[in-house]
Chain A
Amino acid sequence: MAQPRTTTRGLEPREAHEARIGSGAHVRGRIRGEGSLVIEGHVEGDLAIRGDLTIAEGASVKSEAVEAHAVTIAGALDGDVVATGPVRLAPGAQVSGNLRGSAVAIDDGARFAGRLDCDFDLPPELGGASRAPQGEARARVAARR
């Protein structure tokens, strides 16, 4: 269906619902969109979409940053995720990058290396709010002894 090699810059899905980058496609460039996106092929470049992002099994994305609402990864991602919704790594996922979202879940079997930055407070016995960058660094230094 898709051509084996497609180089596209500034791809913008126009429909409000799902856009798809098929398994044979290679995209290099920035992707922006209002809707959701399913990536089954290979993307190199930043993504910023309003809707949900799915990186399917077998797909790969290499990016500085991937921005979306909910993010589900079953394939490979080399890049940071900044999500306004939940982030989930399925068992076959291979992700190298930092994750930020309303919630982050990593299924058993997923491969991951990177930072997680959920927004929450520890109980007061453990120092309570340590959200400020310096507070966090201090807390981690203290925890590491």
Chain B
Amino acid sequence: MTSFLDRDRTVAAPGYRRWLFPPAALAVHLSIGQVYAFSVFKTPLVEHFDSSLTAIGIVFSIAIVMLGLSAAFLGTWVERSGPRKSMLAAALCWSAGFLVAALGVASDQLWLVYLGYGVIGGIGLGVGYISPVSTLIKWFPDRPGLATGLAIMGFGGGALIASPLSTKLLATYGGGGSDGIAASFVTLGLIYLVVMTLGAFTARVPAPGWAPEGWTAPTEHHGMRTTANVTAANAIRTRSFWLLWVVLFCNVTAGIGILEQASPMIQDFFGSVDAVAAAGFVGLLSLANMTGRFVWSSTSDVIGRKRMYMGYLGIGALCYLTVAIAGTSSIVLFVVLTAAILSFYGGGFATVPAYLKDLFGGLQVGAIHGRLLTAWSAAGVAGPLIVNKIADNRTAAGLEGADLYQTSLYIMVGILAVGFLANLGIKAVDERYHEPEAAAATDQSVDLRTPEGARR
């Protein structure tokens, strides 16, 4: 059984078409993207445990922190093990997380929900998120932005599916109240186990030396696009890695600031918007988030990653500034601008693996990506903290409506400006970090069983 899961048992047979791999990646990302729809369970969980929103909100926070940590610490293992084993591990963790959380709900033990959905499920999130990335880049060396955008779009789309599905499950099992939580968790866990396992068994890696028909790997460096390879251990010693960490942190912090507060924000900006319409606004932002992942990441293949991030951060800052100055003047203007910001937020996530591939080569891009995702964990704490804290303080000062968010919006403009400058500072990685030519020759191959051996 173990050998069946090994990387060298997943090498594609002659004639395998590369477009057969993306659904495996999408199956995993659409499943773990459920985490963005966790809020559907918030109120029922508060009622069930008779606890505060903060106590239940911790479940989501633990999951996101574990996502970053597991991606960082297990990235090298994922790279070495290949997509089938790592996708299956993600499937087991993610579904086991739901089952343990269901046990916690059934036995009234909130700590089991923290352990299940937060810790175990969070590990599934981290491993699942990075598991298809390097394989996608190897199947699509000519269009890495398109390939990773397609998969990471799934993470955005997962919430679009899970949100209405979870609402229906809660209604079916418990009349929409807290009675149906445990059964809903079990159902979701089993559905995701089947879908992700199908994805794992479908996963194939390209044979050594494989290349798309008519495409030859570039032999010379072009701008920041390197033909060399850098290991994960060496990548984190470079200035460009940490500048990119800052870029991702700033882009995610700014996006989460709106995403977290979308529903109350539009109601505070426009008194005529009720809760039902606000839910439509949240849905629209989710669509923008998902679409931006695919569209902008694919565009980066044409215009380059650095220019793409200049757009995300520069135009994003202008959008935030316009919302702060003139956001209350028109609901259409407000919706268009915030949707643009969220599309840049999603695009930033989806373009980053291709940016890493440009800078560090494809050898250990999945492991490097895992280390970079700690920026997501940090931003997941910083973004909501900034917006919520300032809104609370301004409420205490007697302000209301759009005035609650003005300071936050200007802070987000500043954060995006910092990210813009960090992006400008990203340069091609110095040759002293490159692996020897022999390792570079395996860039498009699958033989990564001993990546440590390639380290300096």
- Is the pairing of A and B real? no
Residues of B with Cβ closer than 8 Å to A? none
Residues of A with Cβ closer than 8 Å to B? none
